[in-house]
Chain A
Amino acid sequence: MRNPPTLLSLAIDSAVINFCRISDLSFVPEHILLELFVRTLKAGKLNEKILKLFIATGKEEILSVIESLNIQHILVPVLPTLIIKDDEVDIVIGALQSDLTSFMEAWRPMFSRFHLIIVKDPDLKEELKVPGGFNLNLYTKSDMDKVVDSSSSTISFSGYSCRYFGYLMSRKKYIISIDDDCIPAKDSKGELIDAVAQHITNLTTPATPFFFNTLYDPFSEGTDFVRGYPFSLRSGVECGLSCGLWLNLADYDAPTQALKPSARNSRYVDAVLTVPARTMLPLSGINIAFNNELVGPTLLPAFRLAKEGKFRWETVEDIWTGMCAKVVCDHLRLGVKSGLPYVWRQERGNAVESLKKEWEGVQLMEEVVPFFQSVRLSEAAVTAEDCIAEIAASVKEQLGRSNPMFARAAENMVEWIKLWKQVRSL
């Protein structure tokens, strides 16, 4: 019969998880401090800030452990970014597979500082397996049912859309979301990429949507605006969205992947750039981050294919949402960045099998492009919610007549804004 954990043990575990709230360790007795240090190390949560807290206690044993383990300070280059507090970030993971152990372990060094929201695909029958040592909230179908009345609503959180429930529930300023079949990639020097840190850098440095800089993101280390870049545009605008890329299995559609079954993306392009204003792009949901305060409501589940599946190339929901988000950002004079960070996307699914499914939805998307390229919002739309409401009205009026799928998408958008406001007023 196993002994239940002691209160002390539970307290230490809790401290490890909540380190972002601890600013002083001097009151902690030395033997407890040591145990705390060991567990912090095991959880992969030791960083500069926490190390400094331990060193500041001045306790002999701790200092000698640090020395014997040869723990060294990392020289972090000073980037022109704002200081991000750990509690400003939520990492939202949509769980489409039940065993998240290898995914979470792979991301542990990058995720462990932050709060996580894990949302289980309501169609997933098995129990979710999540390793310990993370500060997280888990949402499942029953949570969704409490917030959204599935009998009257057409909003669905099934499949990849489950993450939107996480966005709805989050109160943090920055949200980062990565598909559960992606792990950290390595850069061209062979070092593991901290995708979270790169997304945060992208979101907290200005974007430059009104004029193209040929040396890409001028706020990156070692680069700048080129000759001929207007000075009045050099302060840039706030960045609303950061879209990362994928090594190995790139985000291709099924026909492309089926035609080139062995095609793998091995090209590491060392750049971030702002996608210019009024230029549309396919905003993939696989590796994405956004400023929740500025554009939160625009990341919504609206457009579903009739036979949407559990592989990315069987969906276009993020593509629809992405086009709405770009229109909103353009209107609100916010930037959308694309490029770094890369994640490593693992093999999953069979493109040829997916090709056999119905393609009505993908064809419909072709109609949609001229609409998004020409839609203009009124001066009165000053928030993301306003913008979405206007886009929804235009979708209903202009696209809704030709196909009920669009009318439904418009309804979903309107309902989402209501939900958004409702959830926040509680």
Chain B
Amino acid sequence: MAAPKSSTPLLKDELDIVIPTIRNLDFLEMWRPFFQPYHLIIVQDGDPSKTIKVPDGFDYELYNRNDINKILGPKANCISFKDSACRCFGYMVSKKKYIFTIDDDCFVAKDPTGKEINALEQHIKNLLSPSTPFFFNTLYDPYRDGTDFVRGYPFSLREGVPTAVSHGLWLNIPDYDAPTQLVKPLERNTRFVDAVMTIPKGTLFPMCGMNLAFNRELIGPAMYFGLMGDGQPIGRYDDMWAGWCIKVICDHLGLGVKTGLPYIWHSKASNPFVNLKKEYKGIYWQEELIPFFQSVALPKDCTTVQKCYMELSKQVKAKLGKVDDYFNKLADAMVTWIEAWDELNPSGAAAGAPKVSAK
């Protein structure tokens, strides 16, 4: 007799959905059954004079570049312009415990039985159950229905650690880099892998921001998406940069990062030639960045995310500044970000940041 399936809490007052966009938000129509209970934070990139059309019935706040400049003042220079990296502004102004972020070309996917996937519900399940970064469970996430820890899994590690990040995947257009897109323009991801798993401690991964959720209280300040886009030498590495930073910090603080379900349906393949131009420097720089992140050691007294992040920014300047001057700017921007975060999110106080009300 199977145990009654526990229902996943909605968390509708504890979770914000952050969406960066430069066009309209028609894609929300498809997500309506799953997203309508939640508050949306829309970060409008590009031309602020353009009006973004939001479908009726959604509760949202919208920020364009003018708003960002007004709220952050001189610190606004840490938020990217003309790149979806600007979404991290949404993380900063949110007052909720959890964030789910999704791209505006991502739609509801179907599982192999044909049922529509509630991606948000799966992310919540992932975030509300522990992670297991210290020992790999061969049957993947042991807290899911229908599975458990396997024989040989240390009993002392079966409680797990809190989950900070839930990284979802994509059916249809996979998240390939420009060279791979050029070589395999027709490849589509049709394989539905029915698993969630914890990325082990000490292992880095490429974090994609298209379908991502995290516990803002646990890791928010480290979710800075860097300096990309207009006026910057690099693009399409915003989420990668954030992913390496958060993984190092999660490993240090004993938090978990999960990857796998849920899937969304990624509909738009971006232009590989445009992407190549954006990624070009990143492809070379990451060969230096990876050894840097793999060998980063954070001192024991870095007990909060902000402290870890500030320490990281120092090391970025010291060790990566010589790779390119960009990293000096990035290190400074990391500091600016933390300062802005702390200003808008004073600890303990109930005071909120100046907020632009829903239009």
A: which residues have CB within 8 A of B? 188, 211-216, 220, 222-233, 243, 245, 250-253, 256, 260, 262-263, 265-271, 275-284, 312-313, 316, 318-319, 322, 338, 365-366, 369, 373
Contacts and interface: CB of A to CB of B under 8 A. Distances in A.
B43 interface: no
Interface stretch (B88-96, B170-178, B301-309): B170-178
Nearest to B139: A250
Contacts of B208: 214, 226-228
B325 interface: no
Interface stretch (B45-53, B151-159, B328-336): B151-159
Given A226-B174, A279-B136, A369-B135, A263 B148 contact: yes
B189 to A, nearest CB: 7
Interface stretch (B64-72, B78-86, B193-201): B193-201
The secondary structure that dominates the A interface is loop
Contacts of B283: 231
Interface stretch (B28-36, B54-62, B214-222, B235-243): B235-243
B176 A226 contact: yes
B166 to A, nearest CB: 12
B287 interface: yes
Contact of A212 (B138, B180, B203, B239): B203
A270 B193 contact: yes
A319 B152 contact: yes
Contacts of A278: 202-203
Contacts of A267: 146-147, 194-195
A250 B1 CA distance: 18
A83 to B, nearest CB: 24
Given A224-B176, A280-B136, A250 B150 contact: yes
Contact of A253 (B151, B202, B205, B290): B151
Nearest to B180: A224
A276 B200 contact: yes
Size band of the interface chain B makes with A: 35 or more
Contacts of A188: 112
B280 interface: no
B317 interface: no
B173 to A, nearest CB: 11
A366 B154 contact: yes
Given A225-B180, A228-B206, A214 B146 contact: no
Interface of B: 1-2, 112, 134-140, 146-157, 167, 169, 174-177, 180, 184, 187-195, 199-208, 236-237, 239-240, 243, 259, 279, 283, 286-287, 290
Contact of B152 (A224, A230, A265, A282): A282
The SS class assigned to the B binding surface is loop
Contacts of B192: 270
A256 B148 contact: yes
B206 A222 contact: no
A270 B111 CA distance: 13
B195 A228 contact: no
A279 B202 CA distance: 8
A280 B203 CA distance: 12
Given A212-B205, A227-B176, A278-B202, 19 more contacts: A225-B176, A226-B177, A228-B177, A230-B286, A251-B151, A252-B150, A253-B149, A253-B150, A260-B148, A276-B200, A278-B203, A279-B201, A284-B138, A284-B150, A316-B152, A366-B154, A366-B155, A366-B156, A369-B135
B190 A284 contact: no
A282 B112 contact: no
What 3 A-B pairs come out closest when comparing CB atoms? A282-B152, A228-B206, A319-B152
Contacts of B175: 214, 226-227
B206 A226 contact: yes
Nearest to A216: B193
Given A250-B139, A284-B150, A214 B169 contact: yes
B193 A284 contact: no
Given A214-B206, A271-B193, A265 B174 contact: no
20 contacts: A212-B203, A214-B205, A220-B191, A224-B180, A227-B240, A228-B240, A228-B286, A229-B177, A230-B287, A245-B139, A251-B138, A252-B151, A263-B148, A268-B194, A269-B140, A271-B191, A280-B135, A312-B151, A369-B135, A369-B156
A270 B180 CA distance: 23
Nearest to B190: A222
A75 B354 CA distance: 65
Identify the interface centre among A267, A316, A322: most chain B CB within 10 Å of its CB.
A267
Contact of B174 (A223, A276, A282, A369): A223
B135 A269 contact: no
B177 A243 contact: no
Contacts of B259: 212, 214
A223 B205 contact: no
A265 B206 contact: no
A313 B151 contact: yes
Contacts of A262: 1-2
B354 to A, nearest CB: 35
A224 B290 contact: no
Contacts of B137: 281-282
A209 to B, nearest CB: 9
A94 B1 CA distance: 35
Contacts of B150: 250-253, 282, 284
A313 B153 CA distance: 12
A268 B195 CA distance: 9
Contacts of B188: 222
A47 B208 CA distance: 44
Contact of B149 (A231, A256, A313): A256
B139 A227 contact: no
A231 B287 contact: yes
Contact of B203 (A269, A276, A365): A276
Contacts of A213: 205-206
Contacts of B203: 211-212, 276-279
A268 B147 CA distance: 11
